[in-house]
Amino acid sequence: LRIAELSRDSGVPVPTIKFYVREGLLDPGHLTSPNQAQYDESHLRRLKLIRALAEVAGLSIATIRQLLAAASSPATSPRDALGKAQYATTPRYDYQASEASRQAATGQAEELIRAHGWRINPNSPAKELLTGVLAALRDLGQDDLLSLAEAYAGPAEQIAAADLTVIGARPTLDSQLESVIIGTVLGDTLLAALRRLAEENASIPEGVRPAAAVAMGLRPEPDASAS
Amino acid sequence: LRIAELSRDSGVPVPTIKFYVREGLLDPGHLTSPNQAQYDESHLRRLKLIRALAEVAGLSIATIRQLLAAASSPATSPRDALGKAQYATTPRYDYQASEASRQAATGQAEELIRAHGWRINPNSPAKELLTGVLAALRDLGQDDLLSLAEAYAGPAEQIAAADLTVIGARPTLDSQLESVIIGTVLGDTLLAALRRLAEENASIPEGVRPAAAVAMGLRPEPDASAS
């Protein structure tokens, strides 16, 4: 593929492709003449992935670079590779909570992990993220929202089970790694969408549903529909 | 409060506070002399909220401005106010899927909404987001990940029910609006953390759990622990 074809097939403008090559996200093409490079299917595949991570998941170039590096770094075992990829997809934050909130949040996070019998690495970035959110809720004086952590834990287990079933069904380690990265990052967005749809549906008061549906421009459905 | 005290109590540096005022995220203080402004508890509360949205949820200044505007815009009813706030917390993306993927994704999203009997506004940004993610997965050739949408829908309903219980228990519309914004945005992060923790736990193969726990530096737990 020439760069113009790569651009057409991926939907990424030529200057953006050149930017990704300069930034190290995409391997350079194979030079066939001093100013002509050839690209192949692996470039196209990588380019589509970068585009989805940037435009759907809204990740920064720096975060995408970390993700791609984790996916291609040598791993000692499949478990190690999957762990690295999963850790790389965990959002970081730079929020410094007050000491009191931090301590209370650490206690709540450890209690939740213990109560569910979860085996978690002490350095797990997901545990760090959980602690950070809980500490922020305390700093914000939103103590009633803290109970959501326990309410979400059961659904999170169901979601994780579905994720691992799909990942485990992939035939090769490379394709499993790809599904960890895409599934984890786009899965967050998928979950955000479904959570909001379920909230939108549930926030229509039961008694006024037909009237509200008309007033808000919702499509009324027959009463016989499954709930 | 003087600006130095506001900075100390919120953990936000003085230049950043001034930046937020210039950007319209924070009301200016009350001028008590030509170069001395006073701030009150409402400024402190708002500043902590901005900080959490930026530093924990990683939102941009532009997104935070939209959220705060939605929360303070005049609403005709509590339902309307909550809907606006919820819509404002839905991530946007600028991914243009191929026409074939877009059509197939729209069909899958509508079928999923119908199968669950969800009442959804046709212009719902959450429906748009769902369609976008599904279309991206198709463009990326990750068709086996498409089934995750159906697998996540049930857990998403449980999560939404927990969200609405907490929101509904708030006494005033203002405090409900606040919980929609904080709970929706930080709730996404909370869920991302719990999903990764549950994945980390579930990805330890059952048979080798104790050995893996040692090898990976996990804290081994007694076999008697609940699972």
Please report the pLDDT score of residue B15 as a whole number: 95
H/E run at residue B134: helix B125-139
pLDDT tier, B205 (very low <50, low <70, confident <90, very high otherwise): low
Outline where A14-141 has alpha helix (H).
14-22, 41-55, 61-72, 78-88, 99-115, 125-139
What average pLDDT does chain A have? 84
CB contact under 8 A, A189 and B133: yes
Lowest mean pLDDT among A182-191, A215-224, B92-101: A215-224
Distance between A117 CA and the closest CA of chain B, angstroms: 5
Question: Which of B9, B110, B152, B218 is the best substitution to test chain A (most A C-beta atoms within 10 A)?
Answer: B152
Residue A139 in 3-state DSSP? helix
Distance between B36 CA and the closest CA of chain A, angstroms: 27
Closest to B213 (Cα-Cα) out of A129, A115, A124, A194: A124
- Using CB atoms, which residue from B52, B189, B216 is nearest to A140? B52
Please report the pLDDT score of residue A181 as a whole number: 86
ipTM entry = 0.82
pLDDT tier, B202 (very low <50, low <70, confident <90, very high otherwise): confident
Question: Which of B76, B170, B200, B218 is the best substitution to test chain A (most A C-beta atoms within 10 A)?
Answer: B200
What average pLDDT does chain B have? 84
The listed range with the strongest mean pLDDT (A41-45, A87-91, B46-50, B105-109) is B105-109
Percent of chain B with pLDDT over 70: 86
Q: Which residues does chain A have within 8 Å of residue B126's beta carbon, measured at their own beta carbons?
A: 192-194, 196-197, 200
- Using CB atoms, which residue from B86, B164, B192 is nearest to A188? B192
Residue B198 has φ and ψ, to the nearest 5°, of -65, -35
CB contact under 8 A, B217 and A188: no
Nearest CA in chain B to A56: B93
- Using CB atoms, which residue from B86, B96, B199 is nearest to A199? B86
Chain Cα centroid distance, residue B131: 18
Angle at A118 between CA B204 and CA A186, to 5 degrees: 70
- Using CB atoms, which residue from B49, B58, B166 is nearest to A148? B166
CB contact under 8 A, A226 and B147: no
| Residue A146 DSSP one-character state | G
Percent of chain A with pLDDT over 70: 85
Lowest mean pLDDT among A90-94, A100-104, A109-113, A179-183: A90-94
Distance between A3 CA and the closest CA of chain B, angstroms: 19
- More reliable by pLDDT, B129 or B226: B129
- More reliable by pLDDT, A55 or A40: A40
Evaluate if residue B113 carries a pLDDT over 70: yes
Nearest CA in chain B to A83: B200
Contact A200, B120 (CB under 8 A): yes
Distance between B34 CA and the closest CA of chain A, angstroms: 32
- Using CB atoms, which residue from B79, B144, B182 is nearest to A169? B144
Evaluate if residue B216 carries a pLDDT over 60: no
Distance between B78 CA and the closest CA of chain A, angstroms: 11
Tens digit of each residue's pLDDT (9 = 90 or more) over B55-98: 888 788 888 888 888 777 666 666 677 777 778 888 777 788 89
Residue A32 in 3-state DSSP? strand
Contact A217, B80 (CB under 8 A): no
The one-letter code for the residue type at B63 is T
Residue B99 to residue B101: CA distance in whole angstroms: 6
Residue A56 in 3-state DSSP? coil
